[in-house]
């Protein structure tokens, strides 16, 4: 195992570390005689009211510090690598991998494929478990890290090997059983590929995964995303309206069965299925508290509920201004409806919702998280944009002010000649942005978890 160096980058003022004269450039070697593997070891070992910390100063001198503190009190340091370890890349060559469908010439970090169970816990990434050793499983159980989000795709071992192009991909289920036996909460996902893991294979996967209840608390089924950059890749076909209805029929059958038996729907369909099938989005009760929001499951329903709640406590007035909103084609009809709901209270607010066609990745990509700056520039130039242009925060990479194609928000503002406001995902944030309540024009999406030296979670 490669030994990582844990170099201090910053020391918080007034912290224990400052009092102990720990400075940037110092290296943490061990706590209570135990070497620190990564951020989880660090926090686990730190949870005590007395610790012995071994530090190597930047001049090479080693200090052994005896520290008395509150049990869960932090030392107040930030490290150069916030994970305190290398990020683990994916060893699979999945037939549906979206990173393989990106054009050349983009920044290197966008081509990094992570398959790191620690990021599953920290920020919700889905992992295939193919890169996990028994040591990794031991640590998850020891620290009781949960939830762990697992990309199953299929429970057919042979098919999973073919789909992931990894001869070991069918061997994960003993690992899943160990997590289940230890009571580790899990969520699952199935990326559905037409004619491959749908139909009878989907039925088999759902049936097999129900064996991991209650610790496998939810499983989402989402359609494969296909960009226009698929030359020399596995030939995948998009789902049709009829296909989507067949998928939903299977899922609805299982959802009803699971709800009758367990009081939990267990299996969830991504919002795209309902839109493709031309069917209404289910009511909030169908989502069991929205455990799979990051996978695009129930996002549209939750947004509508939050907007309704935000409006019911407001009083109408005669404020007047004009705005514009840019989003992906998937969400645009819903955003138009929500804008009209706001205008019932504030008829003086006018604006236009623009459904941005994804020319960069291909028109079959309709989610707002994959809209690029150049498509926004081309399609919005010369349009009536009002006093401000609102964009959803998931168009930007976490902690940055750039779109996937490296166009910055400032460049977009200058090109369009209008201020751009980045809107956080809640319905309350939407209402405030549209009505100019406590308006703050933001140019960055909030950071989820710092990854300065590799890519962030994939965009769904």
List the one residue out of 187, 193, 140 whose CA is nearest residue 164: 193
pLDDT tens digits, residue range 122-138?
555 788 888 888 888 88
Residue 249 to residues 51, 204, 257, 387, Cα–Cα distance (Å): 57, 15, 12, 45
Domains detected in the chain: 6-79 (2.30.42.10), 99-296 (3.80.30.10), 304-435 (3.40.50)
The three-class DSSP label of residue 101 is: helix
Tell me the C-alpha distance between 21 and 11, whole Å: 9
Tell me the C-alpha distance between 6 and 43, whole Å: 13
List the one residue out of 294, 304, 303, 252 whose CA is nearest residue 273: 252
pLDDT tens digits, residue range 183-228?
999 999 999 999 999 999 999 999 999 999 999 999 999 999 999 9
Determine which helix (DSSP H) or strand (DSSP E) holds 63, and give its type and residue range: strand 62-68
**Total length of the chain:** 460
Q: Indicate the DSSP class of residue 171.
A: G
Phi, psi of 118 (to 5 degrees): -70, -35
Is a pLDDT exceeding 90 seen at residue 443? no
pLDDT tens digits, residue range 218-271?
999 999 999 999 999 999 999 999 999 999 999 999 999 999 999 999 999 999
List the one residue out of 295, 312, 301 whose CA is nearest residue 334: 301
List the one residue out of 389, 401, 390 whose CA is nearest residue 424: 390
pLDDT tens digits, residue range 174-185?
999 999 999 999
Answer for the pair 442, 390: CB distance below 8 angstroms, yes or no. Answer: no
Q: Two tokens at 249?
A: 């029929």
Q: What is the pLDDT of residue 133?
A: 83
Confidence of residue 107 (pLDDT cuts 50, 70, 90): confident
Cβ burial 183-205 (10 Å sphere, 16+ → b, else e)? ebbbbbbbbbbbebbbeebbeeb
DSSP per residue over 191-251, as a string? EE-TTTTSTHHHHHHHHHHGGGTTTEEEEEEEEPP--S--TTS-------HHHHHHHHHHH
Q: What is the pTM of this model?
A: 0.81
Answer for the pair 389, 326: CB distance below 8 angstroms, yes or no. Answer: yes
Name which residue leads in pLDDT, 107 or 62. 62
Instruction: Give the up-direction half-sphere exposure of residue 22: CA atoms within 13 A in the CB hemisphere.
Output: 32
State whether the Cα torsion 115-119-121-125 is positive or negative.
Answer: negative
Confidence of residue 80 (pLDDT cuts 50, 70, 90): confident
Answer for the pair 440, 318: CB distance below 8 angstroms, yes or no. Answer: no
Is a pLDDT exceeding 70 seen at residue 119? no
């Amino acid at each position: 195992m490669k030994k990582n160096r844990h170099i201090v980058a910053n020391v918080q003022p007034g912290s224990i570390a400052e009092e102990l004269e720990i400075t940037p450039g110092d290296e943490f070697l061990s706590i209570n005689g135990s070497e620190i593997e990564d951020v989880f070891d660090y926090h686990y070992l730190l949870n005590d009211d007395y610790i012995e910390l071994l530090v190597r100063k930047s001049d090479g001198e080693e200090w052994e510090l005896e520290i008395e503190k509150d049990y869960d009190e932090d030392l107040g340091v930030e490290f150069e690598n916030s994970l305190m370890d290398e990020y683990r890349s994916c060893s699979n060559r999945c037939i549906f991998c979206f990173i393989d469908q990106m054009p050349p010439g983009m920044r290197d970090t966008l081509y990094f494929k992570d398959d790191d169970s620690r990021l599953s816990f920290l920020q919700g990434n889905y992992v295939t478990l193919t890169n996990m050793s028994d040591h990794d499983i031991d640590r998850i159980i020891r620290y009781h890290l949960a939830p762990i989000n697992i990309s199953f795709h299929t429970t057919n071992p042979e098919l999973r090997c073919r789909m992931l192009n990894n001869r070991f991909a069918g061997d994960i289920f003993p690992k899943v059983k160990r997590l289940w036996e230890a009571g580790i909460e899990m969520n699952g996902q199935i990326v559905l590929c037409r004619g491959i893991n749908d139909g009878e294979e989907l039925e088999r996967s759902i049936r097999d995964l129900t064996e991991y209840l209650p610790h496998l608390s939810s499983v989402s089924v989402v359609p494969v995303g296909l960009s226009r950059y698929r030359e020399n890749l596995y030939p995948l076909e998009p789902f049709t309206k009829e296909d989507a209805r067949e998928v939903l029929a299977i899922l609805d059958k299982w959802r009803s069965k699971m709800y009758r038996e367990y009081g939990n729907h267990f299996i969830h369909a991504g919002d795209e299925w309902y839109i493709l099938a031309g069917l209404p989005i289910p009511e909030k009760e169908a989502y069991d508290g929205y455990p799979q929001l990051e996978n695009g499951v129930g996002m549209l329903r939750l947004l509508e509920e939050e907007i309704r709640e935000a409006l019911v406590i407001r009083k109408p007035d005669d404020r007047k201004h004009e705005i514009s909103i840019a989003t992906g084609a998937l969400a645009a009809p819903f955003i138009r409806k929500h804008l009209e709901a706001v205008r019932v209270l504030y008829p003086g607010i006018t604006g236009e919702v623009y459904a941005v066609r994804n020319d960069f990745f291909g028109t079959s990509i309709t989610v707002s998280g994959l809209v690029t700056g150049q498509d926004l520039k081309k399609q919005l130039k010369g349009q009536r944009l009002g006093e401000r242009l609102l964009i959803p925060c998931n168009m930007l990479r976490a902690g940055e002010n750039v779109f996937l194609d490296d166009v910055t928000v400032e460049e977009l503002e200058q090109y369009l000649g209008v201020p751009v406001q980045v809107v956080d995902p809640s319905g309350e944030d939407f209402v405030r942005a549209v009505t100019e309540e406590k308006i703050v024009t933001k140019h960055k999406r909030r950071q989820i978890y710092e990854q300065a030296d590799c890519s962030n979670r994939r965009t769904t």
